Structure 1
Amino acid sequence: MIYQGSAITVARGGDEIATLTFDLKDESINKLSSAVVEELDQALQAIRKESGLQGLVIASGKDVFIVGADITEFHQIFEKGEKYLVDMNQRVHGIFNAIEDLPFPSVAAINGLALGGGFEITLTADFRVMAESAKIGLPETKLGIVPGWGGCVRLPRLIGADNAIEWIAGGTENKAKTALEMGAVDAVVPKEKLEAAARDILEQANRGELDYQARREEKQSPLKLDSIEQMMAFETAKGYVAGKAGPHYTAPVEAIRVIQKGAGEGRERAQAIEAKAFAKLAMTDVCYNLVGLFLNDQAVKKKAGQYEKQANPVELAAVLGAGTMGGGIAYQSASKGTPILMKDIKLEAIELGLKEARKLFIKQVERGRLGKADMAEKLTSIRSTLAYGDFEQVDLVVEAVVENPKVKGGVLAEVEKATGEETILTSNTSTIAIDRLAGNLKRPQNFCGMHFFNPVHRMPLVEVIRGAKTSDVAIGTAVAYARKMGKTPIVVNDCPGFLVNRVLFPYFGGFNLLIEQGADFQRVDKVMEKFGWPMGPAYLLDVVGIDIAVHANEVMAEGFPERMAREGKNAIQVMQENERLGQKNRKGFYVYEEDKKGKPKKVSDDQAYELLKPLVKEHREFTDEAIVARLMTPLCLEAVRCLEDDIVGSPAEADMALIYGIGFPPFRGGALRYIDAMGVAEFVEQADRLSETLGPLYAPTDRLREMAKAGERFYSTAGQR
C-alpha cells in the first residue's frame, strides 16, 4: 500500500501500475470535502516518492465516481472572502496539476456520476474510460458559480470551445455516448470491463501506441482559434446564453468569459483567470441563495426518506376523475412504472384523460426520450374504467374530482367501500381541509391530502397533507408514491389552503389592493417578472383560472377572516362575473391568441381596464420598489405564520415548497431566506409601515418582532450576508 487515508487509498499492482481509489468511509457517495482534497495532496506526494511506477489508474470504490465538491462546506468557506477563495482554488489547481504532471501516463476509470470537481479530476488524467451507465458534467453554473478547479481550462481544449460552452453554461449531465462522440472520454465499456480497459490504455501508452505527452501538451496550451473563430465561438454564445439564462443568472455568461479570457493563455495563467472569476461569483447573493437552495433540497429529500420508511408498497394506483388533471396524474404514474386505474362516471371524461396521457407520451417519443414500443407498454398500464370492479387490488387512490367538499366527500366515502382495509386514500384538493373531507370516512387514519400542481408532468411539488387522524403509514405511503412518480413531496399539516395556497393568496390580496389604488396591472406584472417571478400576479391568475382563484380566495377568507376577508368586490371577482376565466376561455386580465406553436399568447385588452375602473378608489403612483414591497410582504408574512403554526416543519421545507409549487424566484432562495437577506428587523419595520394603512394582512407576528429584537434569523448565521 502506497497510501491509505479515510477517503483515498493508493495500491501498487504487480504490473507496476498504481491505483488511486476514492472510497469515502461511512458515506454512500464520494465528494471532495476540504479534508479529501488534503488527502489527495498527501496521496500524490506518496506516489511521486514511489519508484518504478509506470502508470496510475484513478478509480472509485462507490457506485458513483465523485459527485463533486462538498457543497455543505460552501457557505462557511465562502464567508472567508474573495482572496481566501482565490488562494484556495490556486492551491487545488496545484494539487490537480500534480496528477497531470506525473512522470508516467494516467487514466481515470469513470464508473458512475462524475460531476463538478469529480469530473475536473478526471480531466487531469491523460485518458478517460467510462462505463456505459455513467454520466459526466460541470453543473456549477446552477449554483451561481463557474467550474473553479480546471473545468473552464481543460474541457475546451479537450472537446472544443463550442461544446465546452454548451456543457458548462448549461450545467448538463452528459451520457457516455455523448461524451465519447465529443471526445471527452477515450472509450466507453460495460462497467465490469472498466478496470481492464483502463489498464489496457496504460499499456498502450507505455508501448508508445498512445502519445500521452501530446495529450498533456494539448490540454496545457492555448486554444487553437483565430480571431474570427473566437468571435463566433464566444460573442455569439454570450448573447444566446444571456437570453436563455435571464438577467439574474450571470454565471453561465461569466463561464464563457472565463473560457474566452483563458483561450490564448497557457495552463497556469488560464487557471488564475478561472480562480478569480469563481471567487467573485461565490461572493454574490445569487450564489449564496442557490447554494442554500441545494442544501434545502437535500434536507427535504432526507426528510422524505424518513417518512418513506413507514410506507406500504404501491404496486397498483388509481385516480378518480379523469380529464386533464386525472390524465396528467395517470401519465406520471405510468411513466415512472406504477400501473394505474383511471375512473370517471363519464366516458367522455375518460377519453379526455387518456388523450392527455397519450399526448404527453407522444411528446416524449418526439424528443427521443422514449421509444414507440415503450410508449405503447406504458399506455397499456393505464386502465380506464367506469366502475369500481378492480379497486380491491388498489394500494393507493388519488381522488381528483371537482373542488367541491360535498362531491369530494361523497366520492371518497364511495371508493372507501370498494377498496381494501389497507388501501390509502388521498385527495388532490388544493384548499379544502383534510379533516373536513375525512368526516365521512370509516378509516380516516388511511386518508391524507396529496395536492399535485398543474401541469402535473412539469411541476415538481406534491403537498402531502396530514389530517388529525392520518397515520404515519398513510403519510409514508403517499410520500413514497410521490417520490416514485419523480416528484418532491413535502409533508404539511392541515389548514385552509395548506401551505402553498395559504401563502400565495395574501400575495393576490396585495395585488387586489394595488388595483384599488390605481396601479396598472400590466405594470405590476412587469415589475414582478423583473423581480424574478416567471409571471406577474395578473398573468398567473389567468393561468391558474379565475374561477379556481375565486373559490380558493373564499376558502382563505373564511379560514383567516381577520387578514384575508375584505368587504366589496375585488379584481378577481370582477373578472369572474364578466366570464373572463383566464386562459381556459381565452380572456381574463388579458386576452389570449395562439402563437405559431399553438400556445396561448397574452395580449393587452382595454375592456379589462374598463371592467376594473369601478374598483379604483384612488389614483397613486407606485415605484417598482413599492410594488415589490406591497406584494412580497404579505406573502412572506404568511410563510412565517405557517412556520409558527406548525403547518410546515422547517424553513427549508417552506422555501422549497414555494419555489417548486408557485415559482418563487430560486435565486432569491425562498420567502424566509428573502426575509433573512433583507434583515428581519428591516423587514418588520417595512411591514409595520405598510400595516398602518393596509391593515392586518401586513402586520408582523409577535414572534417575528422578538426575532428582530434578538437579531435572530430563520437560517444559520454560517455564511451570513
Structure 2
Amino acid sequence: MRDALYDLGDDGIVTVTFDMAGRPVNVMNDDFSAAMDEILARLEADKEKLKGIIVTSAKSSFVAGGDVERLLALRHEGYQPARQFFDGLKARLRRLESFGRPVVAAINGSALGGGLELALACHHRIAIDDRKIQFAFPEVTLGILPGAGGVVRSVRLLGLMKALPLLTEGRRIDPREALKQGLLDELAGDQAELIARARAWIAAGPEAVQPWERKGYAIPGGSMFSGDNAPMLSVFPSMVFKKTRGLLPAAERILATAAESTQIGFDAAMAVETRNFLDLLMNPVTENLITSMFFQMNEINGGASRPQGPAKSKVARIGVLGAGMMGRGIAFAAASVGIGVVLRDVTLEAVEKGKAYTAEILGKRVAKGAMTQAALDETLALIQTTTDIADMAGCDMVIEAVFEDVALKQSVLREAEAVLGADAVVATNTSTLPIALLAQGVARPENFIGLHFFSPVDKMNIVEIISGKATSDACLARAYDLVQQIRKTPIVVRDSRGFYTSRVFSVFADEGDILLKEGVAPILIENLAKQAGMPVGPLSVQDEVMMSMLLRAQRTNQELDAQLGDDYAKSFGVCGELCALMCDKGRPGRLDGAGFYDYLPDGTKRIWPGLRELFGGDKPMPHADIQDRLMFRMVIEALKCLDEGVVTSLRDGNIGSILAFGFPVHTGGVFQYVTSYGIEAFLARARQLADQYGDRFLPPAGIEARLQSAEMTRRVA
C-alpha cells in the first residue's frame, strides 16, 4: 500500500501501520480514506485467518488529526461534498470497529483530533508512557467539533461530564492523565513493549465489541437528565457563553451534540454529530480561525517571518537594563526557560525588587504543586542582580527596558554597548519611540533592534520585533530566535511611528473618545465594543492603562512631531485631549480609583456620572454605526500599515492584532476581517462611514488591488 503497511503474522494478528507518503505526520484526508478502503478490503479477504488487528503508526506521532487544507477545500466545495466525505470517513471507522475481530490501537505518539477518533473506534487503547505524547480534541479551537465520531464515542466511553471538558476546551493531556480519564486502557514503557502488550491483549481472546454495544450498557453518569448531569447542564451554557459571548459557536454546538447524543441511539447520534459539524464548517468563523490561528500561526512558528540565511541560534545569557514592570517581566521570561539573566538598575533595592517578581510568580506555582521548590531556586539562581553596567560583559544580548525617554534610552544603550562583544545584539523595549532615533545612540546600528514586549510579560505571549533601516538580517534572525526561545510568538514589523500594534490599538481608544465627545452614551460605547468581541471597551482600556501614562505618551509624540516634522500624534488627538481633561479632574484611571469609571470598594465599577455633565449621552446613533466605527477604525489603520510597508505580511498583522490587543479572534484578525466581510462590501461600508463621520475611515488609495491579491484571497485548492 502507498500510505500504510499491512503485516499479517503467523499468529493471525495483522499489524496496520499508517505511514502517509510525503508527509511528516499522518492526517485524515482523501489518501487516508483510500488507504482505509484498501485495508478494509484486505481484512475482509483475510478474515478467516485473523485473530485480531493492531493499528499503529510509522511516524513519530500516531495520527495528527484531519487534514486542515482538505477541510477548507470541503468548505468551499459545499455542504453535500463535505457531508459525503465525513459520512464516508465515519463509515470506514464503523466498519473497523464492527469487523468482528478485536482491534487495538498501539499509540506510539500524539493522537489529536481525528487521530483520537481513530483510537476510540478501536476496542482497546495502549500508549507509550511519554509525557511528550498528547491526547486532545483541538477542533473547538478551529471553530468545529470532532466530526468522525469523537463526540459520540467519548461521551459513551467516559460519560457526559467527563467528556465535555475535553471536547469544549481542547485541553491536551498526557498518557497518564488519559489513562486516569479512561481514554486509555494501558501504558507501555517503549515501542517494543507497546506492540507486545497489544499482541498479548489480542491473544487473551477479548470480545470484539465496544462497551456501548454490550447488553445492559448504560452511559456512565446517565443521560443529560440523569443524576448530577441535569443541574450541571443547566449552568453549562451560561459558562460557555461567558467565555465566547456567542461569537465562537463551536463550544455551544459541541455541548448540544454531546447532550443530545445521550438521548438517542448510536447511529442517530452519529447523524446529529455530522449535521452539527457541517453547520459549523460552513460558518465563516471556522475559515477565519483556520486561516489565522492554524495556517498563519504555524507559518510564524515555522519561522516564515525570519530571515532564512542566518543559522538558528540560542541565547545563553542576556542583560536586562531596568528592573521596573517591563524589565522584571523580561527577566522572568528568560530565566523561566533556563537563560542566564543579568538584571541591572540604578539601586540595589530596585533590582532586588525586580528579581522578587520572579520569586512571587513561581512561588504561586509551588503552592499549587505545579513546581518544586528546587526548580524555583534553580530558576532564581539564573538571575544576577547588579547596579554595575560592566556586569553586562559576556551577554549575548542586552534588552533595554527603561522609561520612554529618548535621551535616557540612548544613554543606557551606549553604556551597555561599550562593554559588549562586537557581535552582541542590543535591543530596546519601546512602544512609541522610533528605532531610527534610538539607533543614533549606538555605535553598531546593524546590531540594534526593537523588541516590544507587552504587559504583563508573564501573561502576554507575543513580542513585536521592530526592524530598523540599519538592522541586519543576522540581528533580526537572532531576535526572532530569542522570542521563540522564551516561548512567545514573534511578529516582525518595520520601523515607523507607533510601529504596528500601538498605532492600530491607539485609534480604538481614540474612536471611543470621539463617540463619547459626540454625545453617545458611554455604556453603549463600551457594551457594543464587547459585543463585537473586544475584551473590554475603549474607555475601560484607558482606565486600565492609566490616562496619565497615555497623556505622557501623547506629549512625547507631540514633541517628536515637532522634532521630526511629523503629525503622528494627531491620529489619536481626541484621546490625548480627553486624557488631559480627565487627569485635570483628578481621574487618571483605575489605579487611582477614578477614571471614566468609579471603582468601588467591593471591586465593582460603574460609569462616572460626571461624564453626562461633560458630554451628554443622549445622542441617537445606530448601534451598527457605533460598532463599525470602533472596528473599522482599527482595520483601516492596519490597512494603512500594510499600504506603507510597516506590516509586510498578513499573518503577522492578523496574529499581532489578536494576541497583542485582543482583536476578536472569531474574525481571524484585522486583515482576515476584511476577507470575511467581503472586500468590496468592506470598502463600500468604509466609504459610507467616511461620508458620515470623517475621512479617517477612508481606506488607502489603491488598497483594493492589494486586497484582491492572491495572498489576501488565498483559497485552498
Q: TM-score range by the shorter chain?
A: over 0.9
Do the aligned partners of 1:311 and 1:475 also contact (CA within 8 Å) in 2?
A: no
Q: Secondary structure at the match of 1:178?
A: helix
Distance 1:647 1:629, change over 3 A: same
Amino acid at match of 2:84: D
Amino acid at match of 1:602: K
CA distance in 2 between partners of 1:706 and 1:80 (Å)? 26
1:658 deviation in Å? 0.4
1:451 deviation in Å? 0.4
Partner of 2:276: 277
Do the aligned partners of 2:54 and 2:198 also contact (CA within 8 Å) in 1?
A: no
Distance 1:196 1:147, change over 3 A: same
CA distance in 1 between partners of 2:703 and 2:218 (Å)? 56
CA deviation map 1:474-494 (0-9, x unaligned): 111111111111100011100
1:469 deviation in Å? 0.7
CA deviation map 1:519-549 (0-9, x unaligned): 2223211110111101011111122222332
Distance 1:222 1:335, change over 3 A: same
CA distance in 1 between partners of 2:471 and 2:128 (Å)? 45
CA distance in 1 between partners of 2:651 and 2:200 (Å)? 51
Do the aligned partners of 1:492 and 1:649 also contact (CA within 8 Å) in 2?
A: yes
CA deviation map 1:354-392 (0-9, x unaligned): 232122112322343322221111111111111123322
CA deviation map 1:432-460 (0-9, x unaligned): 11111010211111110000011111111
Do the aligned partners of 2:143 and 2:250 also contact (CA within 8 Å) in 1?
A: yes
Q: Which moved more, 1:232-241 or 1:415-424?
A: 232-241
1:353 deviation in Å? 1.3
Partner of 2:608: 605
Partner of 1:112: 109
CA distance in 2 between partners of 1:100 and 1:110 (Å)? 17
**1:88 matched to 2:91:** no
CA deviation map 1:450-473 (0-9, x unaligned): 000111111111001100110111
**1:382 matched to 2:378:** no
- Give the alignment of 1:401-550 within 5 angstroms: 401-550=402-551
Distance 1:130 1:218, change over 3 A: farther
Amino acid at match of 2:607: S
CA distance in 1 between partners of 2:347 and 2:577 (Å)? 35
Q: Secondary structure at the match of 1:702?
A: coil
Q: Which moved more, 1:458-467 or 1:16-25?
A: 16-25
Partner of 2:366: 365
Q: Which moved more, 1:250-259 or 1:313-322?
A: 250-259
Partner of 2:298: 298
1:14 deviation in Å? 4.1
Distance 1:580 1:307, change over 3 A: farther
- Give the alignment of 1:156-175 within 5 angstroms: 156-175=155-174
Partner of 1:55: 52
Partner of 2:644: 645
Question: Out of 581, 585, 596, which is 1:574 matched to?
Answer: 581
1:146 deviation in Å? 1.2
TM-score (norm 1): 0.92
In structure 2, runs of 5+ residues without a counterpart are: none
Q: Secondary structure at the match of 1:688?
A: helix
Do the aligned partners of 2:155 and 2:163 also contact (CA within 8 Å) in 1?
A: yes
Partner of 2:129: 132
Q: Which moved more, 1:217-226 or 1:455-464?
A: 217-226
CA distance in 2 between partners of 1:154 and 1:458 (Å)? 36
Partner of 1:592: 599
Question: Out of 28, 36, 55, which is 2:32 matched to?
Answer: 36
TM-score (norm 2): 0.92
Do the aligned partners of 1:512 and 1:570 also contact (CA within 8 Å) in 2?
A: no
CA distance in 2 between partners of 1:437 and 1:355 (Å)? 30
Distance 1:64 1:30, change over 3 A: same
CA distance in 1 between partners of 2:405 and 2:18 (Å)? 56
1:254 deviation in Å? 1.4
CA deviation map 1:178-235 (0-9, x unaligned): 1111211011232x2x442343344334333x44436462599763626433524644
CA distance in 2 between partners of 1:38 and 1:238 (Å)? 39
Distance 1:57 1:195, change over 3 A: farther
Distance 1:670 1:214, change over 3 A: closer
Distance 1:290 1:222, change over 3 A: farther
Q: Which moved more, 1:59-68 or 1:155-164?
A: 59-68
1:100 deviation in Å? 0.8
Question: Out of 11, 17, 40, which is 1:15 matched to?
Answer: 11
Amino acid at match of 1:175: D
Partner of 1:702: 701
Kindly tell me the number of residue pairs found equivalent between the two proteins. Answer: 703
Partner of 1:154: 153
Distance 1:139 1:401, change over 3 A: same
CA distance in 2 between partners of 1:705 and 1:183 (Å)? 53
Partner of 1:217: 213
CA deviation map 1:219-276 (0-9, x unaligned): 9976362643352464443343333443212211211221222223333222111111
Question: Out of 64, 67, 74, which is 2:71 matched to?
Answer: 74
Identity score, percent: 27
Q: Which moved more, 1:496-505 or 1:286-295?
A: 286-295
Q: Which moved more, 1:406-415 or 1:643-652?
A: 643-652
Distance 1:242 1:446, change over 3 A: same
CA distance in 1 between partners of 2:557 and 2:686 (Å)? 21
Distance 1:562 1:397, change over 3 A: closer
Distance 1:279 1:560, change over 3 A: farther
Partner of 1:663: 662
Do the aligned partners of 1:205 and 1:211 also contact (CA within 8 Å) in 2?
A: no
Amino acid at match of 1:13: G
Amino acid at match of 2:226: I
Q: Secondary structure at the match of 1:448?
A: strand
Do the aligned partners of 2:521 and 2:619 also contact (CA within 8 Å) in 1?
A: no
Amino acid at match of 1:482: V
Q: Which moved more, 1:558-567 or 1:93-102?
A: 558-567
Question: Out of 207, 226, 229, which is 1:228 matched to?
Answer: 226
CA distance in 2 between partners of 1:18 and 1:216 (Å)? 25
Q: Which moved more, 1:142-151 or 1:580-589?
A: 580-589
Q: Which moved more, 1:658-667 or 1:65-74?
A: 65-74
Partner of 2:399: 398
CA distance in 2 between partners of 1:149 and 1:218 (Å)? 22
Distance 1:84 1:569, change over 3 A: closer
CA deviation map 1:249-304 (0-9, x unaligned): 22112112212222233332221111111001111122221112222211222235
Do the aligned partners of 2:635 and 2:670 also contact (CA within 8 Å) in 1?
A: yes
Q: CA RMSD in A?
A: 2.6
CA deviation map 1:533-586 (0-9, x unaligned): 010111111222223323444566634449617589621222233343323333
CA deviation map 1:296-350 (0-9, x unaligned): 2112222357447544431011211102221111111111221211111122321
Q: Secondary structure at the match of 2:481?
A: helix
Do the aligned partners of 1:505 and 1:553 also contact (CA within 8 Å) in 2?
A: no
Amino acid at match of 2:300: V
1:623 deviation in Å? 2.3
In structure 1, runs of 5+ residues without a counterpart are: none
CA distance in 1 between partners of 2:172 and 2:600 (Å)? 37
Amino acid at match of 2:674: I
Distance 1:234 1:509, change over 3 A: closer
CA distance in 1 between partners of 2:92 and 2:575 (Å)? 69
Q: Secondary structure at the match of 2:390?
A: coil
CA distance in 1 between partners of 2:442 and 2:245 (Å)? 49
Amino acid at match of 1:655: N
Do the aligned partners of 1:691 and 1:698 also contact (CA within 8 Å) in 2?
A: yes
Do the aligned partners of 1:680 and 1:704 also contact (CA within 8 Å) in 2?
A: no
